[in-house]
Homo-oligomer: A and B are copies of this chain.
Amino acid sequence: MSVTGAGRPRLATKKRPGDTAREEILDASAELFTTRGYTNTSTRMIADAVGLRQASLYHHFSNKDDILDSLLSGTVDEPLAVGQGIQGVEESAVVKMYAMAWFDADQLSRSRWNLGALYLLPELRTDRFGSFRESRFTLMNLYATIAGGVVQELESDVSAGTEELPFRLVETIVNGRADTENGRGSAGLHHASLIATAAVRVLGFPGDIDGIHDRAVRVVADVTASSIFEKKAGHGQ
């Protein structure tokens, strides 16, 4: 069933995945922004890709920036909610760090479009995207806090700034995907466990990873299953 909400009747049958016209618009926009570029995409092209009149699109989003904001926020809201859940769990900091990186790298790998490729758009420097930037920096700080806990727990002798690396390692999934789409054969980096392992190794964890992995997967399962998280995160984008 396709729910168009406040929109006018659809020109054609459903063209895109999504339960609502809003979700279809987001999916089409994500494809166009990541494959044609943000500046090269017009709201008319988006409406065409969904099979909506342009006027109907404006029932859902005021302009192209609103669509971009919604897409980008979708990439940080869920890891932020899960990360806050992970932070509150009774577990060692190493397990929490692994869980956080593993969950987030996995969602960046699996998302239908490589939205992280839009993080470097010059447009994002404007006030319009101040709220998204804040959310992303909050996520970055959460990573750094958990990473700081690992350094303390292990009494690691690491340089200042090392706590920033786990977040950066997770975002390398974006470049890995872009390179694969550009014809680079190897897709090794798409494995979330590789990134999560690297995240704890750079913080000085020398031990066996298998046990950490299993405990971290359990933490993520518990946190994402809790009703509080369901309410908080919704379905991301």
Contact = CB atoms under 8 A, between A and B. Distances in A.
A82 B206 CA distance: 32
Contacts of A140: 179, 184
A230 interface: no
A107 to B, nearest CB: 18
A12 interface: no
A11 interface: no
Contact of A168 (B164, B175, B184): B175
Interface in A168-182: 168-169, 171-172, 174-176, 178-179, 181-182
Interface stretch (A14-22, A51-59, A117-125): A117-125
Contacts of A186: 161, 164
Interface string A46-66: 000000000000000000000
Contact of A194 (B35, B159, B194): B159
A231 interface: no
B119 A36 contact: no
Contacts of A35: 122
A188 interface: yes
A5 to B, nearest CB: 30
A165 B225 CA distance: 32
B168 A133 contact: no
B206 A202 contact: no
B174 A172 contact: no
Interface of A: 34-40, 117, 119-125, 133, 137, 140, 159-165, 168-169, 171-172, 174-176, 178-179, 181-184, 186, 188-189, 191, 193-194, 197-198, 201-202, 204, 206
20 contacts: A35-B122, A37-B38, A37-B39, A39-B39, A120-B175, A120-B178, A125-B181, A159-B191, A159-B197, A160-B188, A161-B186, A161-B189, A161-B191, A162-B197, A164-B189, A168-B169, A168-B172, A168-B176, A169-B169, A206-B206
